[in-house]
Chain A
Amino acid sequence: MKVDVSLTVDGRHHRLAVDTRTTVLDALREHLDVTSPKKGCDHGQCGACTVLLDGRRTLSCLSLACAHDGAEITTADGLAPDGELHPVAQAFLDHDAYQCGYCTPGQICSAVGMLAEAAAGAPSIVSGDLTAPVDLDRAEIAERLSGNLCRCGAYAHIVDAVSEVAP
């Protein structure tokens, strides 16, 4: 069974007919040829598919496209205009916070989403005071980005990169 959905992806509007089983990730990769979000596990276990969906970091492999008609999606490719880089992406380059690059777009979307969560005061399990403003130290950053696996093992550099951008 197919349903019509409209998605705005990195500022571009699309209408498409998708199988009701089609995930947001597959809609992007297989229907719209938007391959910035990666398929690592298809089960919400690795984070490589992370996008910003209506502003929040979301595992696109666990989201059905038909449930997100009208959604606004930002991938790592849409975080900054062509020819420019988002400050988090630039920090990843400066700190060599990646190797093979496959988890990287998801890491960067996750970091951008995480910075907004922290700015809004959302605590994590390592936050000492659940009501105080969040101090994004290394432990907080590592904890909040642990939903994004990096098999190359670039974590220490990822924390360096995000620390540089964090307030």
Chain B
Amino acid sequence: MTTASRPFVPRAVGTPRPRPEGPQKVRGTARYAVETADTDALYLFPVQAAVTRGRVTAIDTSAAEALDGVVAVLTHENAPRLAREADADHGVLQSATIHQHGQYLAAVLATSSETAREAAALVSVTCVEEPHAAVLDEDSPDLYAPGSLVVGATDDTRGDPEAALAAAEVTLRRTYRTPMEHHQPLEPHSTVARWDGERLVLHDATQAVSWTRQAMAAAFGIEESAVDVVSAHVGGGFGSKGGTHPNTVLTALAARAVPGRSVRYALTRQQMFDLVGHRPATVQHVALGSDREGRLTAITHDVVTQGSRISEFVEPAAAFSRGMYAAAARRTTHRTVPLDIGTPTFMRAPGEAPGSFAGESAMDELAIELGTDPVELRLRNEPDVDPETGRPFSSRNLVACLRRGAERFGWADRDPAPRARLVDGWWHGTGVAAASFPVVRFPGSEATIRAAGSGVYEVEIAAADIGQGARAALTAIAADALEVPVERIDLRIGDTAYGAAGPAGGSAGTTSWGATIVEAAERFRDKYGDDPDDGDEADAATPDNPWASDYAMHAYGAHFVEVAVHADTGEIRVPRMLGVFAAGRIVNPLTARSQFLGGMTWGLSAALHEESVLDDRFGHVVNRDLAGYHVATNADVGTVDVEWLDEDDPYVNPMGTKGIGEIGIVGVAAAVANAAHHATGVRVRSLPITLDAFLE
């Protein structure tokens, strides 16, 4: 579709292909941001606020400055000024005001990492403290309705949901809670910054070199063209490396003090809990009204979430309930409590991940209330058109996912009785949940295609490979768009030298960059045909999707899990998981499977482990390392089966892709909670699901 007149015929697309950067990654020779620093680079170590709200009244850097090897100590008193346009989150070292625990108050530059850290500990900060609030309280007087969400309206009401709930033959009202979580990519956020005159050169761990460029240009009041951002390899992001955080600004600000010299800063794991975003805690009130046969008549999903006082991000958790099931009456709302904490941000499946825990747990509870099989209940509420927009679906194969999953998992033999299968001291149960994630296309990418001789095409786009496999995927798309073998594609990504580009985020990278590359290939072939001269070149920006207003576009999935809960200790294990997905055309089956099972592993981790515990007295995360903040380990994961259904969706984009980075996590926590109930008869409505829930 778009403006392409040639059909996109998948040849390389759909064929399993190893990552071209694989040999470097397994040897460890692929260089991540901080690993590009030259030997002369200075090490930065920050001084952070130990109070949550207040003001610096004195800051003594003399002991730090006296240390051999210290080159500079920056504070709000001597740091270069940032532009007024700087984002509120980026106003680093610009005033004495403290708005969160862990805020940067000073930065030491030294010739070794050990010296920088020692000197930072010698900086003496005196503060006055002011009252603060750091923990979500849904009854807070500060609760407010945000102006809008990232996608969609803050509130959305159809019909009269309260009247429909009151009139329903069966009504279920439940409250679910999800905790604050942190992304914790294994590569900490890190930056190498250098000023060459008025030109800022950055190597940054980012999901979007263009976004980093924009943020830095705004922060320093310079043209975007005066900022170079390189990000060749990124050690995971999951959303935290999407937006630019204060660490990148701090590094560039400090580099201002040593013109021509590089400054390197990689966050410590502990700092990763302070300054680079988190998934906010939610309180979710869900009500379902239904007739006795299980046909929904009303759905309400009201979300309260936490935000920061200086910048707004709202977890769009109720958005999940806008499109999943048919019901004539529906209400979804979002409210936020601003707190004196770091600003939350996108984290893998923002909205859908916590929202599906509530929505899909509630469906399971309703199924039990009705005595209906939970797969069947979902089948009965399949909508004909998108409930949110009234548009037809470009393709929707949730029913096929549920049916295929049930068949493969052996669901038909399931005895619905809870607490009925005790085997060798373990209660066993199975659970199901559905998943969806919207098809997103970010505008604003640019792609350039150039004939480089010997039949090779250079394809440039400032995409990011954060582990999803962009190099392999975009190479295949470019090859098919130009109708040449993949060996003739020289793909170049991860550098603002290649123009603007949208982020690796929103499960939209392959879709957005791919559509742009296909458009550029189309223009190239229109202009030069298939036998171009060396140096022939064409470029394109991301085309609009002409079907965007005509169809609702989502990927779907179904999760089936088995849970075992130890009868004496309450230990909960997940020996078996199955995810069946309908997510458009799969570009690279080898890496796609990794993305799906990675998402499912995230879902397992959220279900059983992840919770950032805020101490209201001090405003910091208490369990601030990977020993205290548990993420799933190898031994936590049992058998993980992944399957996808072939879809040929002509409306999403020329490649037919829907995005697969996030749907794997959506619904998993609900499936685990539903299975845990089936195993034990105990319903857990608050994540993570820990053993204390099962102890009598």
What is the total number of residues of chain A having a CB less than 8 Å from a CB of chain B?
58
B233 to chain A, nearest CB (A): 7
CB-CB < 8 A to B598: which residues of A? 99, 152-154
The stretch among B366-374, B494-502, B599-607 that forms the contact with chain A is B599-607
Contact mask B557-598 → A, CB, 8 Å, 1/0? 000000000000000000000000000000000110111011
Contact mask A72-85 → B, CB, 8 Å, 1/0? 00011101000001
B204 to chain A, nearest CB (A): 15
Is the CB of B535 closer than 8 A to any CB of chain A?
A: no
Least CB separation from A89: chain B residue: B26
Contact mask B156-197 → A, CB, 8 Å, 1/0? 000000000000000000000000000111111000000000
| Interchain CA distance A130-B3 in the complex, whole Å | 67
| Interchain CA distance A92-B590 in the complex, whole Å | 12
- Are B634 and A30 interface neighbours, CB within 8 A? no
Is the CB of B423 closer than 8 A to any CB of chain A?
A: no
Within 17-71 of A, Cβ neighbours of B (below 8 Å) are at: 19, 21-22, 26, 29-30, 33, 35-43, 45-46, 48
Within 73-120 of A, Cβ neighbours of B (below 8 Å) are at: 75-77, 79, 85, 89-90, 92-94, 96, 98-105, 108
- Are B186 and A43 interface neighbours, CB within 8 A? no
Least CB separation from B24: chain A residue: A101
Is the CB of B31 closer than 8 A to any CB of chain A?
A: yes
B32's partner among A77, A102, A126, A139 (CB-CB below 8 A) is A102
Q: List the count of A-B residue pairs having beta carbons below 8 Å apart.
A: 180
- Are B27 and A76 interface neighbours, CB within 8 A? yes
A5 to chain B, nearest CB (A): 15
| Interchain CA distance A157-B466 in the complex, whole Å | 18
A104-B28, A157-B597 known; A45+B269 contact, CB < 8 A: yes
B634's partner among A22, A33, A92, A159 (CB-CB below 8 A) is A159
CB-CB < 8 A to A94: which residues of B? 18
| Interchain CA distance A45-B602 in the complex, whole Å | 18
B186's partner among A29, A46, A75, A145 (CB-CB below 8 A) is A46
A93-B23, A101-B233, A154-B594 known; A43+B625 contact, CB < 8 A: yes
- Are A146 and B600 interface neighbours, CB within 8 A? no
Within 453-477 of B, Cβ neighbours of A (below 8 Å) are at: 466-469
Q: Which of B21, B26, B598 has the most CB of A within 10 A?
A: B26
- Are A151 and B236 interface neighbours, CB within 8 A? yes
Within 13-33 of B, Cβ neighbours of A (below 8 Å) are at: 18-19, 21-32
- Are B186 and A103 interface neighbours, CB within 8 A? yes
CB-CB < 8 A to B185: which residues of A? 100, 102, 151
- Are A99 and B187 interface neighbours, CB within 8 A? no
CB-CB < 8 A to A77: which residues of B? 27-29
| Interchain CA distance A101-B18 in the complex, whole Å | 13
Is the CB of A150 closer than 8 A to any CB of chain B?
A: yes
| Interchain CA distance A38-B188 in the complex, whole Å | 10
| Interchain CA distance A150-B635 in the complex, whole Å | 12
| Interchain CA distance A37-B636 in the complex, whole Å | 24
Is the CB of A158 closer than 8 A to any CB of chain B?
A: yes
Least CB separation from A77: chain B residue: B27
| Interchain CA distance A141-B635 in the complex, whole Å | 8
Is the CB of B113 closer than 8 A to any CB of chain A?
A: yes
CB-CB < 8 A to A45: which residues of B? 269, 625-627
Contact mask B18-61 → A, CB, 8 Å, 1/0? 11011111111111100100010000000000000000000000
A96-B594, A105-B26 known; A38+B625 contact, CB < 8 A: no
A36-B28, A104-B28 known; A96+B631 contact, CB < 8 A: no
A102's partner among B27, B236, B268, B469 (CB-CB below 8 A) is B236
- Are A26 and B113 interface neighbours, CB within 8 A? yes
Within 241-266 of B, Cβ neighbours of A (below 8 Å) are at: 266
A153's partner among B28, B187, B590, B601 (CB-CB below 8 A) is B601
CB-CB < 8 A to B28: which residues of A? 35-38, 75-77, 104-105
B113's partner among A30, A90, A101, A151 (CB-CB below 8 A) is A30
- Are B35 and A101 interface neighbours, CB within 8 A? no
Is the CB of B112 closer than 8 A to any CB of chain A?
A: yes
- Are A146 and B635 interface neighbours, CB within 8 A? yes
Is the CB of A137 closer than 8 A to any CB of chain B?
A: no
Least CB separation from B38: chain A residue: A33
CB-CB < 8 A to B24: which residues of A? 101
- Are A33 and B39 interface neighbours, CB within 8 A? yes
Least CB separation from B604: chain A residue: A153
A38-B187, A41-B625, A43-B625 known; A101+B235 contact, CB < 8 A: yes
Is the CB of B234 closer than 8 A to any CB of chain A?
A: yes
- Are B186 and A149 interface neighbours, CB within 8 A? yes
A35-B28, A77-B27, A85-B26 known; A102+B590 contact, CB < 8 A: no
| Interchain CA distance A154-B23 in the complex, whole Å | 17
Contact mask A2-14 → B, CB, 8 Å, 1/0? 0000000000000
CB-CB < 8 A to A154: which residues of B? 594, 597-598
A146 to chain B, nearest CB (A): 4
A36-B27, A39-B266, A77-B28 known; A151+B594 contact, CB < 8 A: no
Is the CB of B400 closer than 8 A to any CB of chain A?
A: no
CB-CB < 8 A to B186: which residues of A? 38, 40, 46, 48, 100, 102-103, 149-152
Is the CB of B238 closer than 8 A to any CB of chain A?
A: yes
Is the CB of B633 closer than 8 A to any CB of chain A?
A: yes
| Interchain CA distance A61-B634 in the complex, whole Å | 21
- Are A96 and B18 interface neighbours, CB within 8 A? yes
- Are A146 and B467 interface neighbours, CB within 8 A? no
Q: Which of B114, B625, B639, B640 has the most CB of A within 10 A?
A: B114
CB-CB < 8 A to A157: which residues of B? 593-594, 597
Is the CB of B632 closer than 8 A to any CB of chain A?
A: yes
- Are B601 and A42 interface neighbours, CB within 8 A? no
Least CB separation from B266: chain A residue: A39
Chain A residues at the B interface, C-beta cutoff of 8 Å: 19, 21-22, 26, 29-30, 33, 35-43, 45-46, 48, 75-77, 79, 85, 89-90, 92-94, 96, 98-105, 108, 126, 139, 141-143, 145-146, 148-159
Top 5 closest pairs, chain A to chain B, by CB: A36-B28, A153-B601, A102-B235, A100-B467, A101-B25
26 A/B residue pairs, CB under 8 Å, sorted by A: A19-B114, A22-B114, A26-B113, A37-B28, A38-B32, A39-B266, A40-B186, A41-B626, A42-B269, A43-B269, A76-B28, A77-B27, A85-B26, A92-B26, A93-B23, A96-B593, A101-B25, A102-B186, A143-B635, A151-B183, A151-B238, A151-B631, A153-B597, A153-B602, A156-B637, A157-B593
Additional A-B contacts beyond A104-B28, A159-B634 (20; CB < 8 A): A36-B28, A37-B28, A38-B28, A40-B626, A46-B269, A48-B186, A85-B23, A92-B26, A96-B18, A98-B25, A99-B594, A100-B187, A104-B25, A139-B635, A146-B636, A150-B186, A151-B183, A151-B236, A152-B467, A157-B593
